[in-house]
């Protein structure tokens, strides 16, 4: 099947995931050639994360695997449809059955995120929650207000929290150090979300640097 896909437009193609029995659309993700090959080989849905820039198997952390029953290509051969059975009853990282739960209506508040999947790290949960706040009313959401004000307001808070963290460290107050570090981490995540940069990319960069001396790492950077 992979030979029939038109890869000339992009190295990634959209993949619509549909529950095989109910026909309900569960999610949309993207696949590269490797993801298609692994999906066909294992009958488990694999995708490519554009934000994390790496392959992932659906359910590898949560256990909510997607067992592929049928695969279809559209008429232009550049979009794929996976019909699956969904383990755990939810395809969305929020714990919902489908990712498509935010109804867009004027004067209607967006749905609240359900954070009930323990397999996601707190930074991932916070990042997704912060992203959701982009849909909120700035009058009722501090994060939405920061997003509305833009770069200057967001970066001013990062600098402010970095200063308060530094003073806490200088004062050698453990409780305040932890408190201010949490504030700094939170506002750093807001800045990352503002630019749609997934925190997993930061983890990958730290992993890349692991074992390198600081001097070698700096010399390895492309200027």
pLDDT digits (tens, 9 = 90+) for 22-79: 999 999 999 999 999 999 999 999 999 988 889 999 998 888 899 999 999 998 889 9
- Does the pLDDT of residue 1 top 70, yes or no? no
Q: Where in the chain is the domain with CATH 1.10.287.1080?
A: 122-209
Q: Give counts: helices (H), strands (E), the chain.
A: 7, 6
Burial code (b: 16+ CB inside 10 Å, e: under 16) for 174-186 equals eeebeebeebbeb
Q: Which of 27, 53, 198 has its CA nearest to residue 127? A: 198
More confident residue, 176 or 211: 176
Q: In which residue ranges of the chain is CATH 3.10.20.810 found?
A: 11-120
Residue identified by tokens 């504030």 is: 183
Overall pTM > 0.95: no
Mean pLDDT in residue range 178-205: 91
Please identify, in words, the CATH class of the domain defined by 11-120.
alpha beta
**What was the pLDDT predicted at 109?**
55
Q: In the block, which residue shows the tokens 């201010």?
A: 180
- What superfamily would CATH give domain 122-209? MazG-like (1.10.287.1080)
């Amino acid at each position: 099947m992979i030979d029939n896909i038109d890869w000339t437009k992009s190295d990634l193609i959209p993949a619509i995931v549909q529950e095989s029995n109910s026909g309900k659309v569960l999610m949309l993700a993207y696949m590269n050639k490797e993801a298609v090959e692994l999906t066909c080989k294992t009958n488990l849905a694999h995708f490519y994360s554009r934000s994390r820039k790496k392959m992932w198997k659906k359910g590898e952390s949560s256990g909510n695997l997607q067992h592929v029953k049928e695969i279809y290509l559209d008429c232009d051969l550049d979009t794929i449809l996976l019909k699956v059975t969904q383990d755990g009853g939810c395809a969305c990282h929020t714990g919902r059955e489908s990712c498509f739960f935010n109804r867009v209506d004027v004067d209607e508040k967006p749905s609240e995120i359900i954070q009930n999947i323990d397999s996601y790290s707190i930074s991932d949960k916070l990042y997704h929650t912060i992203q959701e706040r982009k849909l909120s009313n700035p009058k009722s959401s501090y994060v939405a207000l920061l997003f509305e004000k833009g770069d200057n307001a967001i970066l001013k808070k990062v600098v402010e929290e970095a200063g308060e963290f530094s003073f806490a460290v200088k004062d050698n107050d453990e409780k305040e150090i932890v408190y201010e570090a949490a504030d700094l981490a939170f506002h750093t995540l807001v800045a990352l979300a503002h630019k749609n940069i997934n925190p997993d990319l930061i983890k990958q960069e730290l992993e890349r640097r692991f074992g390198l001396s600081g001097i070698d790492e700096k010399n390895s950077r492309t200027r």
